[in-house]
Amino acid sequence: MAEQENFLSDLTGSFSSPCAENPTVAVMEAAYQHQGIPARYINCDVGKAQLEQAVAGAKAMGWRGFNCSIPNKQAIIEYIDELGTSAKVIGAVNCVIIRDGKLTGENTDGKGFVEALSEQIDIKGKTLALLGAGGAARAIAVESALAGAKEITIINRDKQKGQELVDLINDNTEAKATFTPWTPGLRIDPLPDILVNATSVGLDDANAIPDIETESLESSLFVADVIPNPPQTALLRKAADKGCRTLNGLNMLVNQGALNLTYWFDKEADKEPMRKVLQKLFTG
């Protein structure tokens, strides 16, 4: 007798608004197909007003878990039963795992970045300068500190927001954090070991570049950008021209997808199909 076909898929997805341009669905479905995991990933346009109902629906339908993005990364905490260490410190969740009706919140933004960075440079004992103090910067700062970064400088226009992140690092990790106001044409001085653009400057714009004095960059500096599209931002191109080693945002997205799969299905992810999908989407 032929083996009976199973048409019931495990469900995963994303709750955010807007969501139409979120490429995670392509990344995750490529991974599921490659690894023979009978699952689907669904982008759902869910804002804060619909979040409670969306969470209840995911639990009722037996979802394995879901991602959260703007505007739900902090709002989702109200509906979480347990927070992972970094999510608790960061104060934001972008990956929710559902087990027996219980929700656990993790934050993979910083983890994905630090994992990608660590493939090229050992972060332990290093000094970092972060451009920005938003959600991505918070996650990267916390995870970098937890991974052993010695000193972290937060560069931001909004002093209150920047100082809040400095206090968060100093109060919850062993790293030493300081604040530098972001003034027009800022000179990065003294040079850190690693400079990270954690802002949205450069997203979908190959010519946009953070307002810093790029002539102050030296070849000893490692420059990273969280922007995945275009992969080679104007900042990274300028840094490369100065002899700096660089890191784009593609591997950060790949690592986040791999962490999703591991959290939801307790399997080690094969990153190659994820990487291929993103390269095709962003570089053609």
Decide if 159 is catalytic.
Answer: no
Q: Based on C-alpha coordinates, what's the Rg of the chain?
A: 19
- Give SS3 for 154: strand
- This prediction's pTM: 0.87
For position 192, what pLDDT does the model report?
97
Task: Provide mean pLDDT across the span 20-26.
Answer: 88
Q: Report whether pLDDT(228) > 90.
A: no
The catalytically annotated residue of 48, 59, 73, 111 is: 73
pLDDT winner (highest mean) among 17-21, 69-73, 179-183? 179-183
Residues 37 and 42: their CA atoms lie apart, in Å, by 15
Task: Provide mean pLDDT across the span 31-59.
Answer: 96
For position 3, what pLDDT does the model report?
60
More confident site: 284 or 186: 186
The encoded tokens of residue 38 equal 């009978």
Beta strands in the chain (DSSP E): 10-16, 39-45, 65-68, 82-83, 95-99, 102-106, 127-131, 151-156, 176-181, 194-197, 222-225, 245-247
Q: Which segment of 38-42, 227-231, 250-254 scores lowest on mean pLDDT? A: 227-231
For position 158, what pLDDT does the model report?
96
For position 1, what pLDDT does the model report?
45
